[in-house]
Each structure stands twice: as C-alpha cells, then as structure tokens.
Amino acid sequence: MKDMPLGLRYPFETPPDEGCVTEIAEGVLWARLPLPMALDHVNVYALDEGDHWTIFDSGLDTPRNRGIWVKLLAGPLRGKAVRRVIASHHHPDHIGLAGWFQADGASLWTSRTAWLFARMLVLDAQETPLPETLDFWQRAGMEADILASRTASRPFNFCDVVAPLPLGFHRLNEGQVIRTAGRDWDVRLGQGHAPDQVTLWSRDCPLVLGADQLLPGISPNLGVYATEPEADPVAEWLTSCARFQEIAREDHLVLPGHKLPFTGLPLRLRQKIDNHHGALARLLAHLDTPRRGSDCFAPLFKRAITEGTYGLALVESVAHLNHLVALGQAKRWLDADGAWRWRKLA
C-alpha cells in the first residue's frame, strides 16, 4: 500500500527576529526582512562559502532593509562579505537589493528571464500609467472610481524599491548544478507566479530553496498584466506543480520565500493543484451570466477584497478567466462599455 501523506510540519515554530538569523542546517542561515503590505515579510537565506556569503534573495531596497543587512553582516554573518546574490525571480521583494550588493562587489545569479524583466523594469519609471495599462484595466472591468483615481496617480515604479542593476549577470538554467554552502544543488525553474523562477534542490541533504514557487498555507499571485494580456499563468502554474510532484519527497525541508519552513511537500503540491481546480470550478459556475473580471472576486477568493488588494485580485481574476477560455470552457468578448465579458460555454 502506498504511504499516506504525513501532512505539513513546521520544524521552526517562530521566525528569526529582525537583524537575527536562525540556523536551518550547517552553513544555511535564515533571516527575515519587512514588507509594507499585508504579507509583511520576505525570507532571505545566507549560504556560507567559507570566507564569504552567497545570499538567496535580498528584500526590497529601503533604508530600513539596508540597515538590517548592515546589522546582519556585522553580527551573525561575522563580518564576511556577500560575494554572490542568487535572485529567485524578478519581483522587487526578492531582487530589490541585488544591485546594492553588486555595487559592493557581489555577482548576480538568476534566470535570464528574471534578469531581463528586472533590468527592463528598473529603467522604466512612469509618472502616470501608460495608455496600454489604462486600457487593460478598463477591459478587465476595473470600477470607474478606482480607474479614475489610478489614472490621476503616479503608479508603482520598480525603481522605487529596487536598486539600480549593473549590466551583466550569471545565468541559471533548468537542470544546472551549482555549488553553495558546501552542497551541490539542482536548479529547477518554476512558472506561473513569475517566469523562470529559480528553485534549488540539494543533492546532499533534503533541503529545497523554494522561493515563492513553494509556499505553505498561501498561494502566490498568478496575474495577467497589460504586458501580456492573453497570458495563461494558471496553466503554467499547474504544469510546474505537476513537474515538482515527480521529485518532491516527504522529508524535503522547504525554505520558502514567505511564511515558515516546512516538510510535507508532496501534500502541499497536491493542495496547490486542488485549490486552483476548485477556484476554477467555482468561477465557471459563476459565469452562468456574463461577468467582468472585477465581478469574479467572490468565487475566486471567498473573502472581501480591499482597496489595497484590489489590483492583485483583478489580475488574478483575469488569469483564471483566461485559463477557462484556453480550456474551451468559456468565451470572451468586448462589450459596449469597453470592458471584456466572460461567460461559460454550454
């Protein structure tokens, strides 16, 4: 009989305090940096290379986070320099301080797609939203008052919280093996939340640096944006989860980008797949009449969406609607008010 899943377990009950570290395994240290949002932290990891450190992810570029890194380097990191930054993906909370470390002599290692996105976005400052973005928001069904407010406001700019990225990086590829913290690690790239997201799987012990691809308890945002309005990140996410199921083990200790390290990865991957299938089923039932993207929050999220989470909810709604269209289960058309409508097919 096949062994039953053991469930998710959390070997470390509490995270490290600000400016402190928790030793996960020999040569692998865990620290946390703050985020100014509901998800109020990002996990970063320091990997001991003997006379220097490799860090996996770096946090937002803010004065507070720079100060925390200074404290870490002078304290638990024992005054040794950071000579390599591995960025799991291009999102600001993960790559934000990579350029700051590069300016002090570190090299940046990441996937080509992550570097290209980050390099492009850090150079693309906007005082007002681009016409393509406004058009996308309207077509997705953004409420008129929210659209008007955002039209008149300075949008979020990558360069607000990401240090300038010097030209040049080391590319990480699917199937590559790298050496860090005295161990060999297989590079596995995930999709859906961010393109070509780097995860590292130790060959020498059951450790996995999972970033946002492998989170306990929460699912990362799967969003569609004006840059690629026909994208289907839900399909990419489900495919990645299925691929990781082939190599996941119960004893893998996953070091995630947020929340607590955990074991029980096979069950967690099954939960991730089932959660999205459940959301898609609820959404399809909701499309018994034509709906805008902003009309689909209730079946997808089953909770109130606030102003602070509205934008993420909207792009995730479009992602799931795009997936139903790709599956041939729903259709989409542009209505007279300039917004897309989706409805399930008979």
Which residue's structure tokens are 């240290």? Answer: 29
**177: pLDDT confidence band, cut at 50, 70 and 90?**
very high
Amino acid at 265: L
Check whether 139 has a pLDDT greater than 80. yes
pLDDT of residue 6: 62
Check whether 4 has a pLDDT greater than 50. no
* pLDDT tens track for 184-225: 999 999 999 999 999 999 999 999 999 999 999 999 999 999
* pLDDT tens track for 32-58: 999 998 899 999 999 999 999 999 999
pLDDT of residue 308: 83
DSSP type of residue 148? H
In the chain, % of residues over pLDDT 90: 95
Residue 228: count other Cβ atoms within 10 Å of its Cβ. Answer: 10
Contact of 201 with 186, CB cutoff 8 Å: yes
**155: pLDDT confidence band, cut at 50, 70 and 90?**
very high
Mean pLDDT of the chain: 96
pLDDT of residue 223: 97
**303: pLDDT confidence band, cut at 50, 70 and 90?**
confident
Helix (H) or strand (E) holding 135: helix 131-140
pLDDT of residue 127: 95
Edge-first strand order for the sheet with 253-256 is: 177-180, 183-190, 197-202, 207-211, 253-256
* pLDDT tens track for 86-134: 999 999 999 999 999 999 999 999 999 999 999 999 999 999 999 999 9
* Average pLDDT of the residues in 321-337: 98
* pLDDT tens track for 231-258: 999 999 999 999 999 999 999 999 999 9
Domains and CATH numbers, the chain: 22-124+136-344 (3.60.15.10)
| Residue 190, C-beta contacts closer than 8 angstroms, at least 6 positions apart | 196, 197, 199, 211, 213, 214, 240, 244
Contact of 121 with 194, CB cutoff 8 Å: no
| Residue 2, C-beta contacts closer than 8 angstroms, at least 6 positions apart | none
CA 6: distance to chain centroid? Answer: 26
Where residue 155 falls (left for φ over 0; alpha for ψ -120 to 50; beta otherwise) is: beta
pLDDT of residue 3: 39
Check whether 5 has a pLDDT greater than 50. no
Radius of gyration of the chain (CA): 21
Contact of 184 with 5, CB cutoff 8 Å: no
Structure tokens of 11?
């070997």
